Structure 1
Amino acid sequence: MNFAALMAPLGPFGAAPHLAVGVSGGPHSLALALLTRDWVLARGGRLLALVVDHGLRPGSDAEAASVAALLRGQNIPAKILPLGLPPGPRLHERARAARLSALLAACDAAGAPWLLLGHHRGDQAETVAFRALRGSGPDGLAGMAPVRATPEALILRPLLSIAPARLEAVCAAAGLAPIRDASNTDPRFARARLRQAMDPDGPMAAALSFIAAGYAHRRAATAAAVATRLAQSVAFRPEGWARLDRAALGQDATARAALSAALRTIAGAIHPPPAMGVAGLLARGHGTLAGAVLTPSGILAREPAAVVPEWRGTTWDGRWQCSGHAPGGGGWPPDLPAIVRAGLPGLSPAPLLFRPAGGPAQ
């Protein structure tokens, strides 16, 4: 397996790169750690393996410790991340989200700007099939992206085109015995049932992976067109609002996708707003949707009624982080539109210093 060729399109990485890799102890993430170790050492860089102790079953802490010890025995520094996930519904879904959050936080703390994950061709096929069953559109059928940006690190998935049997062979060649997670074959979970119905090394998985690559190419072309349209028609402001030029935005499919992206950014939403709602808002030229408001004059702001008024620790409305007192008094710029000001935190006479989450202080 030419791992350098798999990594090449995910770069550039520069000299002496510092990477992190998520390792569950299963054969695929373990193989990724071994391959990445050799790749990093050849470039004079550093690798940190991150092992999540999910705490979902008795002995998970000991299992995580054994995985970390195995990695250290392979000259791979390892850190254990206790998850402490509470029981309840949607366990697998919540566990995946919490695990990724913990991995990214660890990357941020370690100063590692790249996080590698061991998803392979079978995982990609499973994702595409699962989304197809749920009625996903073209973007969903593109499956997992090989590169995804987050505030903490770039998420890289270099193994999406690799059959899992080849990764099993990497572990076998190193004389390592991976850990097998019984929940991956537990028929109580929909993904496990789908996994059992489809051979991850077989022709169906290969075909679904090929389909995902085609849709991913389309998704990349659409993203480039949307980025261009946004640059031409939307001016984002540091206080968390934007001014929209409706003539430059247009009324076509790219305009709908660009408006959807702008709405999601302004509202701080995880998922895009409903497509029919976006089309209606674009046609009207004003209105509210998914936590954002568009005025007839082209101001796109957080909908005041959607703002969460109470403090959440040091974060207000999931968007503003309080970091201390601003020197010399003052407040928000006096020329802010009223609709924007209505969706911002009020400042005291000795104002607090706010900054957008992940952004510069305001």
Structure 2
Amino acid sequence: MRGCAPIAPEDKTHRLTAGVPEAAQAELLGDVFAQALARAASLPPRPRLAVAVSGGADSMALALLADDWVRPRGGGILALIIDHGLRESSAEEASLTAARLAAQNIPARIITLSDLAHGPALSERARVARYAALSHAARAAGLGHVLLGHHAGDQAETIAMRAARGRSGLQGMARMVARDDVLLIRPLLNVGPASLRAFLTARRVGWVEDPSNQDLRYERARLRHGEGLSRPATAQESDAKAASDRETARWLAAHVTLRPEGFARFAADAVPAGALSALVRVIGGAVYPPPRAQIARLVRQLAPASLAGVCIIRERAGWVLCREPAACAPPMAAGDGALWDGRFRVRAAPGAGGAIGAQIGALGAQAADFRRKSPLRAQILRGLPAIWVDGAVIAVPHLDIGEPAWRLSFAPPAPLAAHHFVT
């Protein structure tokens, strides 16, 4: 009928926590998964997906749900099993997980992280290494989407942890985020862990229990034992965050110019908090946004400032955000694929030994030698990546100076907008 809106499919997420028996909840998971995947991303008719699998109940359930979803559509999945190598039993657990997946006719690849060691910030270092390995393996397999098994309990923990660090409000994980040229999708954020375990039990599929989940030395383990954990975010709250992310993405698309030299411009007199937070995070090459209180102060009265390694500069036509030169990472070997300062990746380097001894680092004080060759501001020039050999600059790729075989790209760890596609 003309003038009538189409009837939306029933959202069955609430039925997973509405007193429905666990066996019945397991039957609903397929529909909930399909709905969440449709909300998160647009996938091709014959989808091929990577699934991150630790062997735990959450990721095992995700692998089965994804396989159930892609097979009728003529697609397929590849399970990527991450072995962090931090426990004596980790290799055995990875092999067991691969065998369990093989019994379900799900192909798997084991990825062993060899550079991790016990010590400070282990959880964060493991997380960074895990995402890098997943992205690399997915790209190598020709896959552009990686599914992650984070569920409602993980989301509640994330919100509590970020609130404890001054990032109050509903600052949970996004359903979808682009990272290192792949899309990471979390289709289970509104599903509780009990439902996932019930699903596996109904399918008679086992899983691995990670002892670190009970180790109270870790913040997440303490939260799981009731130390300050808020209730899980509801589907409505997650939808509200997704809507907020879309509004931020629209504002950024309408007002911001993000330059390949690693700086941004916008001409508006005011900036929303979410947009400013995203800009500071990306220009600074950070994984996480700056504290909300600092962003809120700037939003109330936008003024020149330095925040989280980013310079906010007033221009006649608006504002510029660029990397604070003093905050840039020290020089490092400029091998093909190297990522410097969390922002710039070496995409191509000279062959036949042309890169031997070369390092990538900030142009710094040498920027004065190039002021006449570039219209860029001094602060931007000083933070530009340059190729150095024996203390001398041999190339500044963004200024087309030096050996043309050197190619760099601006590749921050997360995109400017949580929503990769803006409509």
CA distance change for structure 1 residues 222 and 307 in 2, over 3 Å: closer, same or farther?
A: same
Between structures 1 and 2, the one with greater helix share: 1
1:228 to 250, 265, 277: 250
Structure 2 letter corresponding to 1:342:
R
Identity %: 43
- The equivalences for 1:275-354 within 5 A come to 275-278=292-295, 283=301, 285-297=303-315, 298-314=319-335, 315=338, 316-322=340-346, 323-324=348-349, 334-346=374-386, 347=395, 349-351=402-404, 353-354=406-407
Partners of 1:222 and 1:24 in 2: how far apart? 31
Q: 2:143 matched to which residue of 1?
A: 112
Q: Secondary structure at the match of 1:61?
A: helix
Give the partner amino acid of 1:249.
Answer: D
Question: Contact 1:232/1:249 (CA < 8 Å) preserved in 2?
Answer: no
1:124-135, aligned counterparts within 5 Å? 124-132=155-163
Question: Match of 2:257, SS?
Answer: strand
Moved more, 227-236 or 7-16: 227-236
Aligned in 2, Cα 1:46/1:344: closer, same or farther, shift over 3 Å?
A: same
User: Is this contact kept in 1: 2:167–2:292, CA < 8 A?
Assistant: no
The offset of 1:54, in angstroms, is 1.5
User: Match of 2:280, as an amino acid?
Assistant: L
8 Å Cα contact 1:105/1:152 also seen in 2: no
Q: 1:96 aligns with which of 114, 123, 127?
A: 127
2:56–2:208: 8 Å Cα contact kept in structure 1? yes
Report the TM-score, using the length of structure 2 for normalisation: 0.71
What TM-score comes out, normalization by structure 1 length? 0.81
Tell me how far apart the structure 1 counterparts of residues 139 and 35 of structure 2 sit (CA, whole Å): 27
Q: Deviation at 1:150?
A: 1.7
Which whole-Å CA distance do the structure 2 matches of 1:284 and 1:11 have between them? 34
Deviations 1:309-339 (A, max 9, x none): 523443444433342359xxxx996333333
Please tell me whether residue 26 in structure 1 is matched to residue 56 in structure 2: yes
Worse overlay, 62-71 or 187-196: 187-196
Q: Which amino acid aligns with 2:221?
A: A
SS of residue paired to 1:219: helix
Which of the numbers 132, 154, 176 marks the counterpart of 2:205?
176
Shift of 1:133: 5.1
Q: What CA RMSD, in Å, does the superposition of the two structures yield over aligned residues?
A: 3.0
Superimposed CA distance per residue, residues 226-247 of structure 1 (whole angstroms, 9 cap, x where no aligned partner): 33333443322222223332xx
Q: 1:233 to 1:111 in 2, by over 3 A?
A: same
1:24-66 residue CA offsets vs partner (Å, 9 max, x unmatched): 2222211221121121111111210111111111121122112
Moved over 6 A (4+): none
* In 1, Cα distance between equivalents of 2:51 and 2:269: 40
Provide closer, same or farther for how the CA distance between residues 312 and 186 of structure 1 changes in structure 2, counting only shifts above 3 A.
Answer: same
- State which of 228, 233, 249 in structure 2 corresponds to 1:209: 233
Query: Mind listing any 5+ residue stretches in structure 2 that lack a counterpart?
Result: 1-27, 352-369, 387-394, 396-400, 413-423
SS of residue matched to 2:349: strand
Who is 1:191 aligned against? 220
| Number of aligned residues | 340
- What corresponds to 1:59 in structure 2? 89
Unaligned stretches of 5+ in structure 1?
A: 199-203
CA distance in 2, matches of 1:56, 1:14: 37
Deviations 1:249-275 (A, max 9, x none): 32xxx4343333223222222232344
- Where 1:294 maps in the other structure, the secondary structure is strand
1:134 deviates by: 5.1
Partner of residue 201, structure 1: none
Tell which has more relative contact order, 1 or 2 (C-alpha 8 A, sep 6+). Answer: 2
CA distance in 1, matches of 2:35, 2:238: 19
Any idea what the Cα deviations from partners look like across 1:173-221, whole Å, max 9, x if unmatched?
A: 33222222222123333322332349xxxxx98x5332xx444344334
SS at match of 2:289: coil
- State the distance in 2 between where 1:350 and 1:119 align: 45
